[in-house]
Amino acid sequence: MSNPPADLTSGAGPAQLPPPPAPVGVPWRWLSVSVLVPNVFYGIGMGAATPMVPLAATELGASLSVAALLAALLMIGQFAGTIPAGRSVERFGERPTMVASACFGVVGAALCAVADSTAVLGIGAFAIGVGAGVFGLARHAFVTVMTPPGSRGRALSMVAGSYRIGFMVGPFLSAAVIHLTHSPAAAFGVVMATSGLLATAVLVVREPASPVAGGAAGSASSAHRLREVLWQSRGVLARVGTGVMTIGILRTSRQIVVPLWALHLDITEVHIALIVGSAAAVDVALFYLGGVIMDRWGRLWVAVPTLAIFAAAHVGLALSMFLPGRVPTFLTMVALMAVANGISSGIMATIGSDLADPGHPGPFLSAWRTVTESGSAAAPLLIFAITSVASLSAALVAMGAIGFVGLGLLARHLPRTAPCRP
């Protein structure tokens, strides 16, 4: 494996991107189909599973705290699946790894559907999460090697945007299944069906041979490559990776604090659902715009504004208690968070792809996603701890401070221009 450029792991200035690989002759229209179709199925499955796990747990008699823990196993499983996914990509290639991820989803959903105890439900939720983590990294590696840097931002924004479209549809399908069957467990059939459709789409859609070929040679040295890239890239993971991790922290924080703060303001559940749904629509509307900005002007011009808006909106929510128009201020902050989340679609994956070895992205992307997604996994625990000791307002201010720290890191170390420009 080629060594990362020296200025990725040492020095204090902005990182210089690796020399762009030769563009692979993949038609953009073909890539759109190959990315969109499996990702929509993947998003539908995760969107269906996410609200169903805690609901199924309460049906089994679990307390709210246990139900929340079981729901968190989806994210923990996704986090745990990244490192073995990198090894699988190196050994077998991206497509077999994505098919294997669909198998994890089918098995996990089946366990959740027939679970007669919270232990079995937890194992199923963890398996669904592992499948999601494996699929996410395999698709990330595929798009990395099949698109030139000049169009990578739009491609990975499409990956994230198509997932969000599916994630919006999934809960509605679950609700329809529950309405027809009167059983929350039956909703896991949606996850099983979409996992099967995902595997079928990956197998049916014709894809050109990836430059990253699986084989015995990759198998023999994949673990060594992973340890090597972790050590060689410790500098960029500590600086750029930590900065990007804060985006994940604030995204997850947004999902938690918005409904909690709405309840704090005595907003009804129906109106909360409408607010969250409207914010999701903004996310979907803006995802491609973020990709265009990344490709035309550079990743910096999405990452820094995203963190600035997220951080300011969190602090604004905390300060809204001291303002006369608390509800209008709340709605304004939610709208700002939706804009930040929408334009930043794909930014974490795009920066990771820029820094990965073009010939063997799997090990670095495993390390990258492990670092950046750890923030998403830790954010709920951090908010819970701060809220328990102090208050939700203090947790909001803390999240805002984390965002400003990440902003400083990325403003210092990200390149000022797009990878295709001198």
- The Cβ-side half-sphere exposure at 310, using a 13 Å CA radius, reads 32
Over residues 54-64, the pLDDT tens digits come to: 778 878 887 76
| Residue closest to 104 by CA, chosen among 120, 128, 135, 137 | 128
pLDDT average, residue stretch 405-412:
93
Which one of 3.40.190.10, 1.20.1250.20, 3.20.20.120, 3.90.660.10 gives the CATH number of domain 21-214? 1.20.1250.20
Instruction: Look at 236-250, 265-279, 309-323, 384-398 and tell me which has the smallest mean pLDDT.
Output: 265-279
Residue 108 has pLDDT above 90, yes or no: yes
Burial class (CB in 10 A: 0-12, 13-18, 19+), 110: middle
Residue 324 has pLDDT above 60, yes or no: yes
pLDDT over 70, % of the chain:
83
Instruction: Look at 42-56, 126-140, 242-256 and tell me which has the smallest mean pLDDT.
Output: 42-56
Burial class (CB in 10 A: 0-12, 13-18, 19+), 47: buried
The CATH 1.20.1250.20 domain(s) of the chain lie at 21-214, 221-417
**How much is the pTM?**
0.74
- CA-CA distance, 368 to 293, in Å (whole number)? 22
- pLDDT range class, residue 24, cuts 50, 70, 90: very low
Over residues 290-307, the pLDDT tens digits come to: 888 998 888 999 999 999
pLDDT average, residue stretch 142-161:
81
- CA-CA distance, 22 to 149, in Å (whole number)? 9
Top CATH class, 221-417 = mainly alpha
Structure tokens at 388: 């328990």
Over residues 363-381, the pLDDT tens digits come to: 788 888 888 888 877 887 7
- The Cβ-side half-sphere exposure at 191, using a 13 Å CA radius, reads 34
Residue 70 has pLDDT above 90, yes or no: no
Question: What is the predicted pLDDT for the residue at 12?
Answer: 46
